[in-house]
Amino acid sequence: MDAFVKQIARTLPCRDSYVRQLYRYFRTGDPFPPALYIYGQSSTGKCSILREVLRRWGPEGDGTIMYAQLNAISCYTNKILFETIARQLEGVALSSSNNYSTSQKLEHAKDFLAELRAQLDPAASYVIVLRNAERLRDMAHNLLPLFLQLPEATGLNISVVLVSSLPFEKFYTKTGLPPVVKLFVPEYTRVEMQRILMHDYAQHVAELAGCSGKHQQWLADVTEEFHRNYVNLFLGTFWKVCRDVKELRLVAAECFPPYCEPIRDGTIPVHDSMKLWRNVTKTLRTALSTMYMRLGTNHRTASSSTGNGVAPDGTGWLAQHLELPYYAKYLLIAAYLASNNAAKEDRRLFMKNHGKQRKRLQAVNARAKVVEKMTTKLGPKAFNLDRLLAIFYAILDEKVGLTCNLLAQISTLVHLKLLTYASSAEGGAGVSMLDGSATRLQCTVGLDFIMQIGRMVGFNVRQYLTDFF
């Protein structure tokens, strides 16, 4: 076991206990657990390590286990789900010879079970990995109990591994579920994240060598100790904002060449960490403001060369070059207004006949706000989907129907991290995003960003903010 754990740690470090648990479940010679539920936050290595472990035990490795890996998002019907599992376990690949289809049509659970009993070897061992398993709650009600009792239904040594970011309590129904083995994968600590980023040292140096051309003598100063200092400075800036391994590795690789530029030019010595830190601060601030956007650090140079008065942190440049659909820009403006205005002010802001408002001394004094007490400075407030759509239709001049395309643009804004869930509908039982009163969102962009978006569509945002009355 220890030798196998060390082999996995060479490519995927800091998950030794997780690998040991998988080894105990599938390599000790005992019958597999009927169902294994692996859960934890996203980007914690659940699927990556499980994929690497099964690759070493599957047909590509020693061949002791046949496995099937699929995503519940793409397998959105029972027919696609059953046929994909059966095809991968039988080792059948779709090609032009079989017309990219299978001979058996597995639309029902009884057909799926009969196919497994007839085609699979009872002496072999099988594992089914189903990612995004929370989607099973929206499919047939008998599907999840079937997977939890698949060995009993087929008589095979088969295990179903469900991978999700939700705890298993979110799957409970009134009729109950069979028992399942649960395995929690915690988030990476800062020390573990430092080890993971240090693991990319060779890749970072290779990228520097590719950018340097013929003059590569200075690369001898880029030692592992120098790279460790850079990782410590990088995590000191980004650790409180992002815990996503993929994003941190990507941004760390993008910011490392600007960090090493003074050493290549000879302007700053390699041992002066303070000056190197001050030199790269602007680049890190720009990368921090465009996190999850996958824009790289080249836009920092572009924004400084345009000279059109954009924000120094790159938000103005991002707002100008972020390609959003026309209605998505108005949805983002409506979300910002909903996050930074009180709900009681909506009638006065967005309705023509809202009645007269008397100016009292108390109201005048209340509006004489200092900067620290302005709503736009205190941070965004949560709002529901119904209020967002009401403001959207109030500020939009043309009439637009509420279509699935419009709701899909809201999901796109959430995916781009321009909006976030304050109370996610994904975790609630029986609640969907279409329930506008239950889904609560927050707008994460700043005033400079939304002002630039407003200029692009010809909308004056300040006119609808109570802070500027």
Mean pLDDT by 10 residues, the chain (469 residues): 92 93 91 94 92 92 91 91 92 78 83 93 94 91 92 94 94 87 94 94 88 75 91 92 90 92 88 90 84 60 46 56 86 92 84 59 51 63 91 87 88 89 55 61 88 89 82
Paired strand residues for 37: 162, 182
Report the alpha-carbon distance of residue 287 to residue 280 in Å, rounded. 11
State the residue for tokens 């970072």: 204
How much is the pLDDT for 310?
46
- β-bridge mates for residue 440, sequence order: 384, 423
List residues bridging with 158 in a β-sheet. Answer: 126
Q: What is the pLDDT of residue 298?
A: 53
pLDDT reported for residue 320: 66
Residues 106, 369: Cα–Cα separation, whole Å? 66
Q: Structure tokens of 170?
A: 């979110």
Contacts of 68 (CB under 8 A, 6+ apart): 84, 85, 88, 89, 126, 127, 128, 129
Calculate ∠ Cα 107-113-119, nearest 5°: 105
Give the per-residue pLDDT at 366. 53
Question: How far is the C-alpha of 431 from the C-alpha of 419, rounded, in Å?
Answer: 19
What are the extents of the domains in the chain?
1-184, 190-297, 318-464
Strand order in the sheet with 419-423: 383-384, 440-443, 419-423
Q: How far apart are CA 100 and CA 92, in angstroms?
A: 10
Are 236 and 228 within 8 A, CB to CB?
no
What is the per-residue pLDDT for 111?
A: 93
Q: Which residues pair with 36 in a beta bridge?
A: 161, 181
pLDDT of res. 383:
92
pLDDT attached to residue 91: 86
For 1-184, CATH number out of 3.40.50.300, 3.30.470.20, 3.40.50.12660, 3.90.870.10 equals 3.40.50.300
- Report yes or no: 73 and 138 within 8 Å, Cβ to Cβ: no
Q: Which amino acid is at 216?
A: Q
Q: Is 355 left (phi over 0), alpha (psi -120 to 50) or beta?
A: left
Give the pLDDT confidence score for residue 221 in this predicted structure.
85
